Structure 1
């Protein structure tokens, strides 16, 4: 497990500095709580250092998105995964890379289905979601608006 954070300013005059943090997750599946805590701490830092307003429920929403993405990576992808959180203006981008090249697909809502709701939950909570193959697996990206007008 490896955690890093930093200021990745985009160099635009007057723009809030872009912040990012990441967490490398090993294959044992024991880091879901740590990923959730990282997300909460990162949003606190964004609010304090950038002055970006963060809606009251946004922290819980982001923690749920992180939890679903990390859980799915642990369940379906062997080996390590990488979680990255970064701000882009008023948007938080949650990215998760894993080693499974199979792209997940959200299933039609079915109240009788017991499992496989993770991507459905992420899609409902995020402003946008993308799933793409990479040279070593896949990347899932979920964008969340930090504050509502």
Structure 2
């Protein structure tokens, strides 16, 4: 039997005033899922990626988003589907104090692998983490 634990969070449509609640709910569900199914994963990194993906979906789409988490024996996959066909764009970080431009760089750095795929109804951003084999972790 090869069943994988998973959870889906759906918010549709998003409202400007609910962006904080959307992100908080996604982070809470993600933390519970990772602690239960992938305790080996860097929880802080996963939560930052989820927060960024939710925030981008709320800010840059005109509709819904769906967060899907899947765990295998040695993998954690975070998928964000949303209604926009436009892929994320890496921007030059704005150091002027207004902020912005850091998120997509952060997602690509924190996740082991990041893919963006078009869907008939928008796009899917997939971030994947793979557990390191014992003895291969880099350290000081």
Aligned to 2:76: 92
Q: Which runs of 5+ in 1 are unaligned?
A: 1-8, 11-16, 48-52
Please, what is the CA RMSD of the aligned residues? 1.9
1:32-111 correspondence to structure 2 within 5 Å = 32-47=23-38, 53-55=39-41, 58-107=42-91, 110=93
- Is 1:120 the counterpart of 2:111? The answer is no
Tell me, yes or no, if structure 1 residue 20 matches structure 2 residue 6: yes
SS in 2 for 1:78: coil
Tell me the number of residue pairs that the alignment of Structure 1 and Structure 2 aligns: 127
SS at match of 1:31: helix
Which consecutive unaligned segments of at least 5 residues does structure 2 have?
A: 135-140
CA distance in 2, matches of 1:86, 1:137: 20
Separation in structure 1 between the aligned mates of residue 66 and residue 30 of structure 2, nearest angstrom: 13
Q: Which moved more, 1:125-134 or 1:138-147?
A: 138-147
TM-score (norm 1): 0.76
Contact 2:62 2:84 in 1 (8 A): yes
